[in-house]
Amino acid sequence: MDSTSETDTLTPSGEQAEVTTTNRRQPFPQGFLDTISEGWAVREESLPPERSEAPWAARRRDAVSRAFAGRRLVLPAGELKQRSNDTDYPFRAHSAFAHLTGWGSDAEPGAVLVFEPTDDGHDAVLYFRERADRTTPEFYADASVGEFWIGPRPSLAAVAADLGVDTAHLDDLELSDDDLVLDEDDELTRFVSELRLVKDEWELEQMRLAVAVTASGFDDIVADLPRIIAHPRGERVVEGVFHQRARAEGNTEGYDTIAASGPHACYLHWTRNDGTVVAGDLLLVDAGVEVDSLYTADITRTLPVNGTFSAVQRKIYDAVLEAADAAFAAAKPGVKFRAVHEAAMQVIAQRVSEWGLIPVTAEEALDSERGGQHRRYMVHGTSHHLGMDVHDCAQARRDMYYDGVLEAGMVFTIEPGLYFQIDDLTVPEEFRGIGVRIEDDIVMTADGPVNLSAGIPRTADDVEAWIARLSAR
């Protein structure tokens, strides 16, 4: 497939453009050029109803407007990014742009949201490239935007009706050195990131949807374990099974799926996914579906490949589950976000100390200056905010994030783990090569935390029953 523009086109005056020779393209014959713009049915367009997110996006824009009175703000969606040679990665709009427009998986590359200052706030205008008339060379010759290549693009009027925002052609956009531009201006970038720390009701519904589709993806993996085990690259089959669900019922995955079997589970971001899945090992799957609104889940389950945990595997698994439950119990409105991690680490330190894996007590390991010995077996944090990005609100200030206070509407993960690498001589031989992580997606309410992913089996007994039930299909 070619994702670049043909170079043999008509000029605006209708004359043949200069032909640039390539090693595989042929010039358009004159007969084609004379007739390509003729014989097309009149395109009838009915404007769509306003999408359900539009009023919520308008409220978010109002918050931005109040924070930057009198300033002109420019928020690009981003452009296509090259994968190799003349192929691009699938386009995914900038999260802040999507959050403030409501334009998700169907957003146009190159679009720009502009806040034009007025006497009483801002007028929001969404600029993007209007679809080409069939009389223009772009229609047939431009592989990046031409309808012959990628299908119809939306019209300005349709997008205005759909999103409830004024639209204008990208050619009409003029920029100034005084503009505040997303990802160039720190204050604007920080504000729109922090704006997503507390989700509105529409966003929370999208998070529930993302978790529900992800749960179905995990069911698919468990049900397909026999085929996964039989394949020489079973990890890749895991990835493919989940991808099918993500694409069928969502936009894609929110991040590269981790399908880590056996010792690979000890590598925190194992995305190579090219190993076998062997009976007797554990399979760690960290995956999340990104739905069409671009909100994503982020869930991890660790499965005994043969359906039953060994005594050592269960011992480690139960310790991780205990840490997860302790973190959940610590998560309450008004407490510091970091308290969630601290609660999990207390359990991790206690268990590895009891098992004789560290040369100090749990209390000594938890000392903020001289401790940390237990972190050898869990080097990552326990929680991060979740939403449009898998690590959402990443540009927020520390005192709003790690040192911030939990509020109703915040969505975050709880994901402790224990990882004993295959060549780690500080642990007993039977521990080596075992990696366990349990990750759930949590929404804070005024009454306390709610585990959105609690329906995906978590306890060792429930995981074994889950595998037995789906394997019997």
> For 397-422, how does the pLDDT look when each residue is reduced to its tens digit (9 = 90+)?
999 999 999 999 999 999 999 999 99
Whether 12 has a pLDDT exceeding 90, the answer reads: no
pLDDT of residue 134: 87
- Enter the pTM of the model: 0.94
Stretch 98-118: mean pLDDT = 98
> For 414-450, how does the pLDDT look when each residue is reduced to its tens digit (9 = 90+)?
999 999 999 999 999 999 999 999 999 999 999 999 9
Question: Rounded to the nearest 5°, which phi and psi values hold at 247?
Answer: -80, -35
Pairing label, strands 282-287, 299-304? antiparallel
What is the H or E stretch that residue 76 is in? Answer: strand 73-76
Stretch 309-324: mean pLDDT = 98
CA angle 1, 251, 145 (to 5 degrees): 40
Strand ranges for 193-273 from DSSP E: 252-253, 258-261
Q: How far apart are alpha carbons 449 and 451 in whole angstroms?
A: 7
Nearest to 398 by CA among 157, 193, 179, 147: 193
Stretch 64-91: mean pLDDT = 96
Whether 122 has a pLDDT exceeding 50, the answer reads: yes
Which CATH code is given to the segment(s) 201-471? 3.90.230.10
Confidence category of residue 43, pLDDT binned at 50, 70, 90: confident
- Least confident among 36-40, 75-79, 257-261: 36-40
Stretch 147-169: mean pLDDT = 95
Stretch 49-55: mean pLDDT = 97
Task: Supply 72's token pair.
Answer: 């002109």
pLDDT of residue 45: 86
CATH architecture of 30-194: 3-Layer(aba) Sandwich (3.40)
Task: Supply 268's token pair.
Answer: 């925190």
Nearest to 10 by CA among 44, 35, 45: 35
Stretch 211-230: mean pLDDT = 98
Whether 365 has a pLDDT exceeding 50, the answer reads: yes
pLDDT of residue 22: 64
- Domain-by-domain residue ranges, the chain? 30-194, 201-471
pLDDT of residue 11: 42
Confidence category of residue 131, pLDDT binned at 50, 70, 90: confident
Q: How far apart are alpha carbons 78 and 76 in whole angstroms?
A: 5
pLDDT of residue 16: 45
Say if residues 440 and 413 touch (Cβ distance below 8 Å): yes
- Least confident among 5-19, 24-38, 70-84, 334-348: 5-19
* Better pLDDT: 277 or 3: 277
Residue-averaged pLDDT of the chain: 94
Whether 15 has a pLDDT exceeding 60, the answer reads: no
What HEC string does 375-443 produce? HHHCCCCCCCECCCCCCCCCCCCHHHCCCCECCCCCEEEECCEEEECCCCCCCCHHHCCEEEECEEEEE
pLDDT of residue 13: 40
Helices then strands, each counted (H, E), the chain: 14, 17
